[in-house]
A and B are shown apart, each in its own frame.
Chain A
Amino acid sequence: MSSEPHAPAHESAHNTHHGHSHGHEAAHGTFNSYMTGFILSVILTAIPFWLVMGNVIESKALAVAIVMGLGAVQIVVHMIYFLHMNTKSEGGWTMLALIFTIIIVAIALAGSLWVMHHLNTNMMPMNPEMMKNLP
């Protein structure tokens, strides 16, 4: 941190201008926003656990879809209420970095699954005899 030694001088100048040193920071949470996020998270966690532990849904595919969906919603809830993500913080650069990461993550996940699925299903079936004669 090369800026460390200047920090106190800078901050004092900063404070005289803005009173509060966080004037320009992205909005922090309030007690209410944290509690909203927490209660939503509890609900969004309890539902999938209840679904799976109580064997509520017959269809496996539907249960998987619901668990995935609720997980995605809960991630968004955490992003908004705990990580205070919005389009304005740091001039929008945090949001841009997030969107970029989500795109890369989607490519990595979908691409890996797609490639490996086809690799598995299109592989020539092999018996132990063939396995022995592999180069």
Chain B
Amino acid sequence: MSAPHAVSADKPTFYLTEEHHPENSTMLGFWIYLMSDCLMFAVLFATYAVLGRNYAAGPSPADLFDLNLVAINTAMLLFSSITYGFAMLRMEKGDKAGTLKWLAITGVFGLAFLGIELYEFRHLIHEGATPQRSAFLSAFFTLVGTHGLHVTFGCIWLVTLMVQVSKHGLIEANRRRLMCLSMFWHFLDVVWIGVFSLVYLIGVIG
């Protein structure tokens, strides 16, 4: 693509037309990726909805779930969403230190969420409520575990971007990456709304 530089004397027209469409399509592409992710979660939700009442004489949600723990977990994810929002606001201002600070706080909330979830899983498995116990538990661990895996990758991505920002500053590429992670992070929070409503709350209602 050296054409624009080669004929610099008279500006090629296609360069001008590009100026009228400066919106790059990364955000749209990433949004479509998220939508494909959404379909995958929809299938896992459907699986849970179909299998979630087949306890095989094993424990039911009301026996297993500790809603206090789930409420704390939900709060962690919600706090991480708002702190990520603050990081984006700092980024808009061009405040590198502020962005890094809020990203770090977001990461702490994300790790707290993962820690509580792993504690819950360990507790369930300790009680014999393993994925092999019943169809309900298989569907539960698949759905909630996949969400947890997404949060794990989000945390890895977050740390990667913190390194990138601290090394190169808030350059355009880093801003774009931070915006993609922003969508990813908020999207995971949206999926979690489905998880705590359908799996935990309605499960405990019975």
Contact = CB atoms under 8 A, between A and B. Distances in A.
A25 interface: yes
- Which size class do B's interface residues fall under? 35 or more
Given A18-B22, A83-B183, A7 B172 contact: yes
Contacts of A41: 78, 81
B120 interface: no
B28 A93 contact: yes
> Chain A interface mostly helix, strand, loop or mixed?
helix
Contacts of A3: 24
B160 interface: no
B31 to A, nearest CB: 5
A24 B22 contact: yes
B189 interface: yes
Interface of B: 1, 19, 22-25, 27-28, 31-32, 35, 38-39, 42-43, 45-47, 49-50, 67-68, 70-71, 74-75, 78, 81-82, 85-86, 88-89, 92, 172-173, 175, 183, 186-187, 189-190, 193-194, 196-198, 201-202, 204-206
Sorted nearest first, the 4 A-B pairs with minimum C-beta distance are A71-B197, A112-B46, A34-B85, A82-B186
Interface of A: 3-4, 6-8, 11, 13-14, 17-18, 21-26, 28-31, 34-35, 37-38, 41-42, 45, 48-49, 52-53, 60, 63-64, 67-68, 70-71, 74-75, 78-79, 82-83, 89-91, 93-94, 97-98, 100-101, 104-105, 108-109, 112-113, 116
